[in-house]
Structure 1
């Protein structure tokens, strides 16, 4: 029996994400036990648990710095040809000054447009988004001014400094020919960052505070409380690592957005899963929780089942968080930033979507309703099925994008179909239930 062939090598190692998790855990423990640290070391600081928004943002520094350090010092990602950088032949500054000025003009204009969109979009100024706007308003001057030395430094070593940002700037200035395809590439990449960065920043404090605040000592004998703590922790890890991925789309880290998904169907499928376009919220079109209740309600009094259900839900959220951690510095929606073939992506092409949807089915049990109405049960079950169908749609549109971009992904896609533990089984099941189509012979 021949050995199963290995998948194509991954562009991201497991070590990068693991380093980020270690850095994040160290900061979480520091925040949680800060009163004891202050007392033990005799520090002149408030002896209070650090669970505020500032502490949540500081967690990004710990996880992000650990990942960046590992990527540069261990993986040496800055030396990869895929960065588009040649460190051995820096150009004199005078040779790239005009290019850099054009690029900075393009970047500044892009950020001004995003800022204007934030200003006129009403949803950005209520609820959790207010915090995101405050953070971005504070960061804006550093972003605009920091772009000057960063671009001047980087353009000296880029193999092709006339990238998509330069083409957008060239279009604005009108002195040199520019490529509309590159302008579109620039616009789509920054549309992804502008939309998702605001959303991700808005949810960073909530999950962090929930984990820090939880009474860790009281949950060991309670399956619901322990399960809730661990689930909250997994979701917090997911948000923190993903947020770093959205922020550090930099070529020296080989984490740049190579292309954003150009297909309208992909954007529609993704955006209906996020506010303000979300269709799955309370009372929305795809709300599957009408007269429903969570798993703990239905299983109360059955201790064994509660432990079993809690374990399954924690496992699914762990897989979901692992799917994000495996990206390291490269996580983001609707983008191509390299090919990932290790971690949970060795078993299925879409571990996050699979685990997330399985979690919703187990957690909500949509076929049970507090009203006792069969109509509500059927409706909720069908609607959750439609939600899962949306994520299947998202998966297919992402594959369409990646298959067109990278031969390595095409190789990985084919390998998964034959050898991926979950994907290959699902493929065989689909073949078994799908009737064979008759072969149509050409007319003679």
Structure 2
């Protein structure tokens, strides 16, 4: 198994700290979800950054590669100043877009802007020191931030446009997704802090399911928000590359607001309003098993995000994961998420007869197809990295689906043995080596 960019024990340690912090906030009757979100981010970041730095230092390699520290570099002060100009220009461009576009000005970015205003004073003080230290550690210090600074200063002949393009795409990803994730995490934390958990569990027949369902989504979206906030080069959480194809961007952005609202209403409205709880109302045992199955799949989905540590991000390459749920398949989040939609929507049991059930199933299959395209475009992007190619080859031989195919072949071989012993000997000694998916 190729090495993973993130260590599971570190991420699970951070998860334990976050859960303990949530318990403490609840016990203290904390009422400010925005400051509570900041506390949770610190509770997550400190163990990950601290333990990652400790592991990196003891492994003998720098956080951004085995590059030597350059102590004597007379160009560093000027270069760092240009990077700070580039960083300021980047923030100004994003802020202008949020101010200009009604989607962000009046809705999606309100929580993020308030959050940024809260953390701005310490961030402004820390930024020059961070850029200085990061510049010192880089093998090639003339990075995207430096190119953005040159462009902002009008020094276009010196700009490497490929580096600047990747830098701009990476920040475009953050600018699009961060308002969505921060707003969702803020709203979920507000719900959690205000909820009477005991009363909720006692007051509803399926309160345990309703609480666990939203809480798992809260943990997942909080972890994703943290990933977009902390693209830290010093601990290897920086963006290596952004999705290079238009198709990759289209199929990804289609799954998020505001685009998904249009698609789900007009093209993929697969939920006919027949909830699975009502469908199984007369079978309480099956209903509980069904609910547990949904929650287990959601737990895998949340784990798939937690496994990234501070590296989670759509449309970017920030290191190859090979452990956690990614030890079993290349796309555990997509598989588990799409399966939950089938269990929740039960389109195969839609009211209105066979034709309506078939129509609902086809629309949900359309949603599944979008995620299939997301998986394929991500694979093409990540396959530029030899580490991912090695990982994909390992999964093709040892992944969950490869093992399932081999097991199925063995079972079929045993059944064939009843009529022909020679056939089973042939099957037994020629193992399947088909690739996954």
Q: Do both proteins adopt the same fold according to a TM-score greater than 0.5, normalized to the shorter chain?
A: yes
**Bigger mean CA offset, 356-365 vs 60-69:** 60-69
Matched, 1:232 2:232: no
Structure 1 unmatched ranges of 5 or more: 1-6, 35-47, 430-444
Matched, 1:296 2:290: no
Matched, 1:153 2:119: no
1:60–1:243 CA contact under 8 A, matched in 2: no
User: 1:364-421 CA deviation, whole Å, 9 max, x = no partner?
Assistant: 1123345x365543332111110011000000000000001x1111011111112101
TM-score normalised by L of structure 2: 0.85
2:56–2:62 CA contact under 8 A, matched in 1: no
Q: CA deviation at 1:171?
A: 3.0
SS state at 2:259 partner? coil
1:100–1:155 CA contact under 8 A, matched in 2: yes
Q: What residue in structure 1 maps to residue 189 of structure 2?
A: 208
When residues 225 and 171 of structure 1 are mapped into structure 2, their CA distance, relative to the original with a 3 A threshold, is same
Q: What are the equivalent positions in structure 2 for 1:96-245 lying under 5 Å apart?
A: 96-127=76-107, 129-140=109-120, 143-144=123-124, 146-175=126-155, 177-217=158-198, 219=201, 224-245=206-227
Matched, 1:95 2:80: no
When residues 126 and 383 of structure 1 are mapped into structure 2, their CA distance, relative to the original with a 3 A threshold, is farther
Q: 1:395 aligns with which of 368, 375, 382?
A: 375
**Bigger mean CA offset, 420-429 vs 153-162:** 420-429
RMSD: 2.6
TM-score normalised by L of structure 1: 0.84
SS state at 1:329 partner? coil
Distance in structure 1 (CA, Å) of the matches to 2:270 and 2:284: 26
Q: What residue in structure 1 maps to residue 251 of structure 2?
A: 269
SS state at 1:159 partner? coil
Distance in structure 2 (CA, Å) of the matches to 1:142 and 1:188: 27
Distance in structure 2 (CA, Å) of the matches to 1:233 and 1:362: 18
**Bigger mean CA offset, 164-173 vs 251-260:** 164-173
User: 1:311-366 CA deviation, whole Å, 9 max, x = no partner?
Assistant: 10110011001101111121111111111111100111000000000011101112
Matched, 1:351 2:332: yes
User: 1:185-243 CA deviation, whole Å, 9 max, x = no partner?
Assistant: 11111111111111111111222233344443353796621122122221121122222
Distance in structure 1 (CA, Å) of the matches to 2:244 and 2:308: 21
User: 1:148-176 CA deviation, whole Å, 9 max, x = no partner?
Assistant: 33223332333321112112222333446
Give the paired residue count.
406
